[in-house]
Amino acid sequence: MKKHWILLSLALVLTAQAQAQNGMVKESLRLKSAILGTEVEYSIYLPAGYDQSNRRYPVLYLLHGYTDDETGWTQFGEAQHIADQTIASGDAPAMLIVMPDAGVSWYVNSADGKVRYEDFFVQELIPHIDASYRTRTAREFRAVAGLSMGGHGSLIMAMKHPDLFVAAAPLSAGIFTEQELTNMPDDDWNHVFGPPYGAGLKGPERLTAHMAQNWILKIVENTGAEALKRVRYYIDCGDGDFLIKGNMALHALLIDKGVPHEFRVRDGEHNWPYWRSALPEVLKFVGESFHR
C-alpha cells in the first residue's frame, strides 16, 4: 500500500510539472472596435508561468487564412501545443501569441471605406493588447506571421508599418502576379477580392490605385530598400501550392532590391499539415528577432 501511494504521489508531481510547462489559450475574447463599429473576437496564447510572474513578454500576431477566424490556429494549427514544445525546448523564447479574427478583409482597408481592418489592427488591436497584457511594447519585441490571406496580412502590416514590427513570417502568402489578377475568373474575383477591392471589375480594371496600395509586389516595388530592411522576413511556401508563383515573384523582387530575407520552398501544398510543420521554424525565427 505504501509503495502504491509513493507511485501515485510521484505521478501527481510529474503531472504537475508537465502542466507547469504548458501555456494557456484564452479563446474568442471580444474587443469593441469603434473603427469597425462592431466587436472583434481574438484568441491569445499565454506562455507557461505568465500568471505566476510580473515578467513582460514579446508578442507574435498570428493571422488566419481566408474564411477562417480567430480559432483557426488553435483548432487546426495546434498553435498552443507547438508553442509549448518550442518554448520548452529552448528553441524560442516565451512569448504571447495573439490570433485575431479578420473575416475576409485581407487585413486591409476596403476600397469603399466600410471595413477599415488595417486601421483597426494598428490603432485599436495592438494598443488593446499592450494595455491588457504584460507585453514588451517596443517594435523590437513585436512580430507578425500568418498563413495564406494571413500571410498577405503579415506582409501588409510589416511593410506598411515597419515602425511597429521587427519581423514578419508569411506562410503560403496570398500573393498574386499581375497576370493572375487580371486573368482571374470573374466569380473568383468577385467572391474573394470583391469585398476589399471592388466587385464587378474585369481584367486590367482590377489594377486600381487602391489595389496598388495593398498589392504586396507593388508595395515592394514602390518602397525604398532601407525601409524594407527594417524588418526581418521569413517566407515559406510549398512547391505544390497554387500561390508559389506569387511567392517566388516576391523572392525575386527582394533579391533585386538587396533586401535580406529567408526564403523556403518545401515539399507540400496549401494545407494545415504544411502550416503546422512550418510553425516551429516561425517561432524560432521571430524569437531570434527578439534577441539583442
Instruction: Output phi, psi for 261, to 5 deg.
Output: -165, 155
Residue 6 pLDDT greater than 70, yes or no: no
Residue 257 pLDDT greater than 90, yes or no: yes
Residue ranges of domains in the chain? 26-290
Q: How confident is the model at residue 285 (pLDDT cuts 50, 70, 90)?
A: very high
Angle CA 288–290–292, to nearest 5:
90
Residue 14 pLDDT greater than 80, yes or no: no
**49-82, pLDDT tens digit by residue?**
999 999 999 999 999 999 999 999 999 999 999 9
Residue 16 pLDDT greater than 50, yes or no: no
Average pLDDT estimate for 271-281: 98
Q: What is the pLDDT of residue 128?
A: 98
Residue 5 pLDDT greater than 50, yes or no: yes
Q: How confident is the model at residue 233 (pLDDT cuts 50, 70, 90)?
A: very high
Q: What is the pLDDT of residue 95?
A: 98
Average pLDDT estimate for 145-167: 98
Looking at residue 276, its amino acid is: R
Q: What is the pLDDT of residue 13?
A: 41
Q: Give percent of the chain with pLDDT exceeding 90.
A: 92
Average pLDDT estimate for 104-114: 97
Closest CA to 175 of 119, 232, 242: 242
26-290 to CATH, choices 3.40.50.1820, 3.40.710.10, 3.40.50.2300, 3.40.50.720: 3.40.50.1820
Report how far residue 134's alpha carbon sits from residue 99's, in angstroms, rounded to the nearest whole number.
Answer: 16
Q: What is the pLDDT of residue 21?
A: 77
Closest CA to 192 of 219, 178, 174, 171: 174
Residue 26 pLDDT greater than 50, yes or no: yes
3-state helix, strand, coil in the chain (%, to 5): 50, 20, 35
Place of cell 502576379: 177
What is residue 86's three-state secondary structure?
A: helix
Q: What is the pLDDT of residue 19?
A: 47
Residue 84 pLDDT greater than 60, yes or no: yes
